[in-house]
Structure 1
Amino acid sequence: MQLYPLKLLPAKTNFNFMHFKKISYTVSIILSVLCLISITLYKFNFGIDFAGGISIEVRSTQTPNLTQMREILGELNIGEVMIQHFGSEHDLSIRVGSNSEENLLHNINLIKTALNTKLPYKFDYRKVDFVGPQIGAQLIQSGLIALTLSFIAIMIYIWIRFEWYFGMGVLIALVHDAILALGFMSITRLDFNLSTIAAILTIIGYSVNDSVVIYDRIRENLRKFAQKPIDQTINISINETLSRTILTVLTTLLAALALVIFGGEAIHSFSILIFFGIIAGTYSSIFISAPILTIFARQTKYRINKKN
């Protein structure tokens, strides 16, 4: 029995992606500006990793009354207390922000004592973490260094593998994706923690991989169709890699969706940001990094459509 490869699209597609480049530029600029405004005005909802404080995961023998728990812990005057379910109704995440490294251990003991003595059910303390604000500041600095080094490494790779204007296209797409990811975290108020840095690095890597596949085909077709306008060549290249792009994004989104649904509270922000970032990265590779080559490639030997 002969097996045939999976095809979601016809063998040859002819969608005119370049026709929408001005619209995609406008949409991306507007979204980027909104994200930058949100980051500037509202900043981020820093988690315990960066802001400092206490994080406790507990499992109760009965379904707890969250309102009563908030009132009991609020009377301790140890800082802002956040309590929410994760996983099941018996699993709770208790988080207390703190601007001081003093009394962290003392506050943990206060929380345990209050829960054990003032509530009619028992708790199993499955995880207890605390981070001082000084360590949080160091983690922020380390995260920024990691992001900067990743950008530099990617640009060196693209510079070696492709012509200079491909590097400019990737750089703009990566900045675009990073701004949207950070803006998404600011707008949604999801916890900004160490896993968020990992998610942003993953999004950047995914976006680069997607762009490189399209760039390889564009470079081949620039040599193959040397007399065609570059916008037409780019359009052909995007269509030729479209089936691969759709299969990749669908399978990756399914994996990310599984993390969102079953990953639990510990990677909640990471999972949602990855899901959003995959969509943003796919969009930028098709509608940003590829079409924008028509601007930078005017300095090259390839024939350009002067009407653009």
Structure 2
Amino acid sequence: MAWRLRLAPEKTNIDFFKIQWLTFGGSMALMVAAFVFWGMYGLNFGIDFKGGTTIRTESTQAVDVGAYRKALDGLAIGDVVITEVFDPTFRADQHVAQVRVSSADAEQAVGEEAVGAVQAALTALDPAIKFPSVETVGPKVSGELVKTSVLAVATTSILIMLYIWMRFEWQFALGAVLALLHDVFITVGIFALFQIKFDLTIIAALLTILGYSINDTVVVFDRLRENLIKYKTMPLKEVMNLSVNETLSRTLMTSLTTLIAVGAMLVFGGDVIRGFSFAIFIGVVLGTYSSVYVAKNIVLMIGLDRSDKPKNGRPSDHEFANIDA
């Protein structure tokens, strides 16, 4: 018989409600703390949200990001993000980078003097360097990006809630979305607490977290719906425990394999994607936790109507339950 790795026994009987005052209560406390950190420290916005200038460089010499950053140290400029650009159409001796510079004053755009100082410092390092393009994003455009990012997260949450409502019941939809917001708010709170750079890549990470977390929650809810039909007289809390236990092995395996991939990105991905990888890593952990301890607790508190109500001429727990989606 082939040996198979199991992260959990084939059958478990864990009472996930036994210490709900600690698990669910702790989650609520963390959300409150996240808002407090957000209010006290604010977010350390990157160039995308503060405004800045992108200077494209081109040289016959290889790009040394560390040397570029060292050459720009001490200049009267704000944050600097240096990214080497790769393209299969580039010549063998064509080395391109993007130097993104934010203004030292968040209310002002990067001035020509600051751009000139950056170009002079890089030219002193590499006399062969050229500057094909210089693009500036002002604070007004950055403010619009902030609003658009918030709108993207809010719209995604609403659409997910509508889908879950159609697929299950409104109680499931509310529980799922509140669990998603739990994951997002705590992640943002961690970024505020440690003042980690917050830019558009983090927004992409938050949207990815929403997708990952709802996938895990839907698996639990789908099993819960099947068991609600199967065990009509079993108390709701026990049906929920049974459903989470039955999907526990799948939940742990999915989370572990995802964390291995994201952990590799976090360790070996470098500075450019470190913030993104960190957000995803935290989000996967929180998403797994909320699927087990948060979403179903909210549904339990709201309650479910378990009476038999045939709809559309067939016995079903929900009129949309048999949609193939």
Interval containing the TM-score (normalised by the shorter chain): 0.7 to 0.9
Tell me the residue number matched to 1:80.
78
Alpha-carbon offset, residue 261 of structure 1: 1.9
Note closer, same or farther for the CA distance 1:102–1:281 as it changes in structure 2 (3 Å cut).
closer
Tell me the residue number matched to 2:15.
16
- Any idea what SS the aligned residue of 1:201 has? helix
Contact conserved, 1:60 with 1:123, CA < 8 A, in 2? Answer: no
The partner residue of 2:230 within 224, 227, 230 is 224
Alpha-carbon offset, residue 114 of structure 1: 2.9
| Whole-Å separation in 1 of the counterparts to 2:164 and 2:171 | 10
Tell me the residue number matched to 2:114.
107
Contact conserved, 1:196 with 1:270, CA < 8 A, in 2? Answer: yes
How many residues are treated as equivalent by the alignment? 290
| Whole-Å separation in 2 of the counterparts to 1:166 and 1:268 | 34
Contact conserved, 1:249 with 1:282, CA < 8 A, in 2? Answer: yes
Is 1:144 the counterpart of 2:142 in the alignment? no
Tell me the residue number matched to 1:177.
183
Matched letter for residue 47 of structure 1? G
| Whole-Å separation in 1 of the counterparts to 2:194 and 2:139 | 23
Is 1:257 the counterpart of 2:263 in the alignment? yes
Superposed, 1:41-80 pairs within 5 Å as 41-54=40-53, 64=67, 69-71=72-74, 73-74=75-76, 79-80=77-78
- Any idea what SS the aligned residue of 1:9 has? coil
Alpha-carbon offset, residue 298 of structure 1: 5.0
| Whole-Å separation in 2 of the counterparts to 1:55 and 1:257 | 30
Matched letter for residue 23 of structure 2? S
| Whole-Å separation in 2 of the counterparts to 1:60 and 1:266 | 15
Superposed, 1:203-282 pairs within 5 Å as 203-282=209-288
Question: TM-score scaled by structure 2?
Answer: 0.78
The partner residue of 1:301 within 303, 307, 325 is 307
Is 1:116 the counterpart of 2:114 in the alignment? no
- Any idea what SS the aligned residue of 1:292 has? helix
The partner residue of 1:134 within 120, 135, 140 is 140
Alpha-carbon offset, residue 248 of structure 1: 0.2
Cα deviation 1:172-195 (Å, max 9, x = unaligned): 201211211211221121111111
| Whole-Å separation in 2 of the counterparts to 1:55 and 1:250 | 38
Contact conserved, 2:217 with 2:291, CA < 8 A, in 1? Answer: yes
Alpha-carbon offset, residue 94 of structure 1: 6.8
| Whole-Å separation in 1 of the counterparts to 2:151 and 2:38 | 19
Note closer, same or farther for the CA distance 1:7–1:82 as it changes in structure 2 (3 Å cut).
same
Question: TM-score scaled by structure 1?
Answer: 0.82
Note closer, same or farther for the CA distance 1:276–1:57 as it changes in structure 2 (3 Å cut).
farther
- Any idea what SS the aligned residue of 1:291 has? helix
Note closer, same or farther for the CA distance 1:209–1:297 as it changes in structure 2 (3 Å cut).
same
Identity %: 35
Matched letter for residue 107 of structure 1? A
Alpha-carbon offset, residue 29 of structure 1: 1.4
| Whole-Å separation in 2 of the counterparts to 1:208 and 1:63 | 39
Moved more, 37-46 or 130-139: 130-139
Tell me the residue number matched to 1:305.
none
Moved more, 128-137 or 231-240: 128-137
Please list every run of 5 or more consecutive structure 2 residues that lacks an aligned counterpart in the other structure.
Answer: 85-96, 309-325
Matched letter for residue 39 of structure 2? T
Greater helix share, 1 or 2?
Answer: 1
| Whole-Å separation in 2 of the counterparts to 1:128 and 1:236 | 60
Contact conserved, 1:155 with 1:171, CA < 8 A, in 2? Answer: yes
| Whole-Å separation in 1 of the counterparts to 2:160 and 2:81 | 40
Alpha-carbon offset, residue 66 of structure 1: 6.7
Contact conserved, 1:203 with 1:274, CA < 8 A, in 2? Answer: yes
Alpha-carbon offset, residue 39 of structure 1: 0.9
- Any idea what SS the aligned residue of 1:54 has? strand
Alpha-carbon offset, residue 262 of structure 1: 2.4
Tell me the residue number matched to 1:25.
24
